Structure 1
Amino acid sequence: MGFNSFEDSYMKQINTIIIDDKNEIRLDEFQTTVISEFHSLKKAIFNEDISLILINKELQNNNPYEIISFIKNNGFNIPVIVLSSNENEEELVKIFDAGCDDYISKKTNKSIIKAKIKSIVSRFEKIQEDIHIENLSYIGKSNHFLYNDKVLDLTKKEKMLLLEFMRNQNKVLSREHLISKIWKELQVQQKSLNVLITRLKHKIDPENKKSLIKTVYGKGYIFTF
């Protein structure tokens, strides 16, 4: 199989949901489903293996911010790209604050749009890799954690913290490293990290039978079975 044939085959595997009630967006190179209603997205997102969601910012009957928030707040680990003709800085900030992963101007060349889609899908596929450590599992596609085959009820930050520990099993992680990963800044008080770790420990092991997260005094924390 030649490179072009391989690339075409790969792009056809990228299952893209396009949310567009104005019928403006076409991406024939990808496996696409165009929907115009929010409730149709809800049905698709629970029943299909979706690689990417592409949203037309200038929707007539749907709120793009509500759609993005629904996807991200419900823990779906699916990249969201917004296409817009409005490049106003304030609008772009609102889009990213809602949880959008990337923005593309409608003026952008189609080949660049294709390249961006492939890049972000590839990046998310790496992030979504499942991790299994004895009886603790991370299911990347659904962004869920299982302990003894039961789903752990974790907050967004608890999930981020546990995933960072699982990716760095048996390594000492400094407080500064964890704070920068979870809060993306260093101004957060260390007490916030202490509280988060205590909550996470209790949710994984309420009876404290097995100390999975240990304090390494003067250095940070280590996650080990």
Structure 2
Amino acid sequence: MSALIVIIDDEEDLAELLEYNLSKEGFETVGFCNVLKVEQFLEEEEPDLLIVDRNLIYAEGAQFVKSLRSKGFNTPVIFLSAKDSKEDRLQGFEAGGDDYITKPFDMDDLIARVKAVLKRTKKQSNILKFKDILVNNESKQVFINDQEVSLTKLEINLLTEFIINKNIVLSRDYLWDKIWGSEYMSEKTLNIAVKRLRQKLGNSDYIVSVRSQGYKIC
């Protein structure tokens, strides 16, 4: 099972131990000792899992994850913390955690639970969320505030591409190739498609035009 796992823990020895053991299992890992650059990383990459300590410099782990969730980041999270009371665990789950492991912990148990979360969330990968928009690519349905919106297959593909690459400017050439499968499509065709998508989303300002570059959802 290949996956990119982000480890956020200010205990350097523990972070290195986690990276070493997860790498042995075939996972790619990236470590951060605080939260300062994590959000920027999430905007640029698509990790499969975050392992987050609760006691972090500059931010409390559960509050940080709660903030990420409010901004539309849906990356699965396992809390790894010395905070081990029932209340602490509930706070972790309420903040958006998918699992909660207390320190000290057994490495084999952690790896098993990492694999379980990855397996479970991979099955949910056909469900994409962005703010009040939900896209079910399995049933080909789109909902805004739980109300279904009728989109064409092309519009669903376009919206899906925007959400997967949220906060990233997608050039017209990229969209032409990815959605239409052609490098040679009139600019008018793309502009009309984006305009119609915006209208069906309730003239949402989520999809913005970036002059001379393309479009992004933010």
**Per-residue deviation, residues 136-185 of structure 1 (Å, max 9, x unmatched):** xx7x4xx35xxxxxxxxx51xx52xx63xx64579xxxxxxxxxxxxxxx
For 1:87, the equivalent position in structure 2 comes to 84
For 2:97, the equivalent position in structure 1 comes to 100
RMSD: 3.1
Which of 111, 124, 137 does residue 121 from structure 2 map onto?
124
CA contact (8 A) 1:22 1:59 kept: no
TM-score normalised by length of structure 2: 0.57
Q: Partner letter of residue 33 of structure 1?
A: V
The answer to whether residue 4 in structure 2 is matched with residue 15 in structure 1 is yes
Q: 1:88 offset after TM fit, Å? A: 0.8
**Per-residue deviation, residues 171-205 of structure 1 (Å, max 9, x unmatched):** xxxxxxxxxxxxxxxxxxxxxxxx8538x579746
Q: 1:71 offset after TM fit, Å? A: 2.2
CA contact (8 A) 1:16 1:53 kept: yes
Provide the aligned length of Structure 1 versus Structure 2.
147
CA contact (8 A) 2:66 2:96 kept: yes
TM-score normalised by length of structure 1: 0.55
Aligned partner of residue 49 in structure 1, secondary structure: coil
CA contact (8 A) 1:16 1:51 kept: yes
Q: Distance in 2 between matches of 1:81 and 1:66?
A: 14
5 Å-filtered alignment, 1:40-189, equals 40-129=37-126, 140=128, 143-144=129-130, 155=132, 159=134, 163=136, 167-168=138-139
Identity of aligned residues (%): 21
Aligned partner of residue 32 in structure 1, secondary structure: strand
Q: Distance in 1 between matches of 2:31 and 2:202?
A: 45
Q: 1:116 offset after TM fit, Å? A: 0.6
Q: Partner letter of residue 88 of structure 1?
A: S
Structure 1 stretches (4+) deviating beyond 3 angstroms? 166-170, 200-207
Q: Distance in 2 between matches of 1:34 and 1:50?
A: 12
Change (3 A) 1:90 1:49: same
